[in-house]
Amino acid sequence: MGEQWTVAAIQMRMAAEKEENLARAEEAIAEAARRGAQIVCLPELFTSYYFCQVEDPAYFDLAEPIPGPSEARLARAAQKHRVVLIGSLFEKRLPGIYHNTATVHDRNGQLVGIYRKMHIPEDPLYFEKYYFTPGDTGFRVFDTAVAAVGPLVCWDQWFPEAARLAALRGADILCYPTAIGWHPREKAAFGTAQHDAWETIMRAHAIANGVYVCAVNRVGHEVLAGEGLEFWGGSFLCDPFGRILAKASHDREEILLASCDRRLLEDVRRHWPFLRDRRIDAYADLTRRALT
């Protein structure tokens, strides 16, 4: 692993057909690599519309095994362009057991591991508990040729425990494939605050753990039920101080790039030694649901 590396976040607008999304992702990966990216991250469930807007058993047919056809496409793209690639797929593990799964391929195309989304939301138009079995991989970190990557997925981004455990396992960078957006009728009243909270919580994870963060969202208005969801984009990369290194618009497809430096990570942790000063003897109650 080198002292410096370049990360790319691929902010995409999804089409209805898997083949189109895979082809456009491959084009974006190639462009990111051409511009110097060594780590590339795709949005959550990028091969389809965000189908969790409805509860429909037909959508289980979108799921694939891992290894499998879409995973193989990602492997070839990683190998061809010599990038570490973080993907996000709807995994069919067994009949009746499906996961929302992040894949990590190294620069030689090898699938170095998967992470199954641990925190599964359930909200209007985000009916993920219907589709996804909660992950059982634990919070994993993968040593790649470029950096130690901690993949987490969307709803995981709100939980400090997930970020902390990934940092304690040696992550240099946390990568959050994401599909989050506004309910159109709520956007005027709550949209700005919702987006600000989303960005702030992940910047806080970067600061509290002394890691880089790459948050990769989709854009576009996808309607499978009611008024649908307006995905707010806003993908960003930040450093261990929480400083924004690159940030995307709310409504355009973009490839964000940012340079990362392991020496800064080390320097930040020396001066803000949060990991050193943790009172691990006093945190047992964190494993309880509530204390009253």
- The answer to whether 169 and 147 have CB atoms below 8 angstroms apart is no
Give tens-digit pLDDT for 97-139.
Answer: 999 999 999 999 999 999 999 999 999 999 999 999 999 999 9
Question: Angle, nearest 10°, between helix axes 187-209 and 160-168?
Answer: 30
- DSSP codes, 87-154: EEEEEEEETTEEEEEEEEE-TTS-EEEEEE------BTTB-HHHH-PPP-S-S--EE-SS-EEEE--G
Indicate the residue type of 136.
D
The ranges of the chain with pLDDT < 70 are none
Q: Does residue 20 carry a catalytic annotation?
A: no
> Looking at residue 2, what is its pLDDT?
74
Strand, helix or coil at 204? Answer: helix
CA distance 135 to 93: 11
Which of 41, 64, 71, 117 is an active site residue? 117
Phi then psi dihedrals of residue 15, to 5 deg: -100, 175
Which of 71, 91, 128, 154 is an active site residue? 154
> Looking at residue 1, what is its pLDDT?
77
Q: Does residue 214 carry a catalytic annotation?
A: no
CA distance 114 to 110: 12
Q: Does residue 44 carry a catalytic annotation?
A: yes
Detail the DSSP E strand segments found in the chain.
4-13, 39-41, 84-94, 97-105, 111-116, 142-143, 148-151, 173-177, 181-182, 212-216, 218-222, 229-232, 236-238, 244-247, 254-261
Question: Angle, nearest 10°, between helix axes 69-81 and 18-34?
Answer: 20
pTM beyond 0.85: yes
Give tens-digit pLDDT for 243-265.
Answer: 999 999 999 999 999 999 999 99
Taken in order of first residue, the domains within the chain and their CATH numbers are 4-287 (3.60.110.10)
